[in-house]
Amino acid sequence: MNRYIVGREDCVEMHPFAGVTMLATCGEKMTLSLVEMEPHSIIAEHSHPHEQVGYMIEGEAEFVIAGKSYRVRAGQMWRLPGGVPHKVIALNKPVRAVDAFYPIRTDMLSPESWGSLSPRENPPESANP
């Protein structure tokens, strides 16, 4: 792997849900993830302590953020503070999106680790109702 340029083959590839592929790479303080979703696939509700911003490259999805539904289309962005529950449902076409996280998501360092945050990264019980 090149120190500065990362190819798809250099990323950690994860399949955390049926029809969902995530490709992630980490810098010193951030994680970048390419998310590909088949039509009607779902990223189940979850939360993490990381700040998250994203951009919809193609497709359209329903985002359920803190219990409220939003339709996100290609060209739109989102920003989520850490600890906010969210879910994504791909609509009728494939979805491609990019997410950036701060700080690094250690649960994206290997294909088997998605969603398994180290104890220091788990939010307090009050942040995860």
Asked if 76 contacts 59 with a C-beta cutoff of 8 angstroms, the reply is no
> How far, in Å, are 17, 41, 70, 79 from residue 87 at the CA level?
12, 11, 10, 14
Strand pairing partners for 100?
32, 53
For 75, half-sphere exposure in the C-beta direction (CA atoms, 13 angstrom radius) is 0
List the 68-73 sheet strands across, edge first. 42-46, 86-90, 60-65, 68-73
For 75-99, what is the mean pLDDT?
Answer: 98
Residue 18: pLDDT over 50: yes
CATH superfamily, domain 10-107, is Jelly Rolls (2.60.120.10)
Question: Exposed, middle or buried: residue 22 (CB in 10 Å: 0-12, 13-18, 19+)?
Answer: buried
pTM: 0.86
Can you give the residue ranges of every domain in the chain?
A: 10-107
Task: Note the helical H segments in the chain.
Answer: none
Instruction: Give the pLDDT confidence of 108-127 residue by residue, as tens digits.
Output: 988 877 766 543 344 433 33
**For position 116, what pLDDT does the model report?**
63
Q: Which of 53, 63, 58, 3 is nearest to 33 (CA)?
A: 53
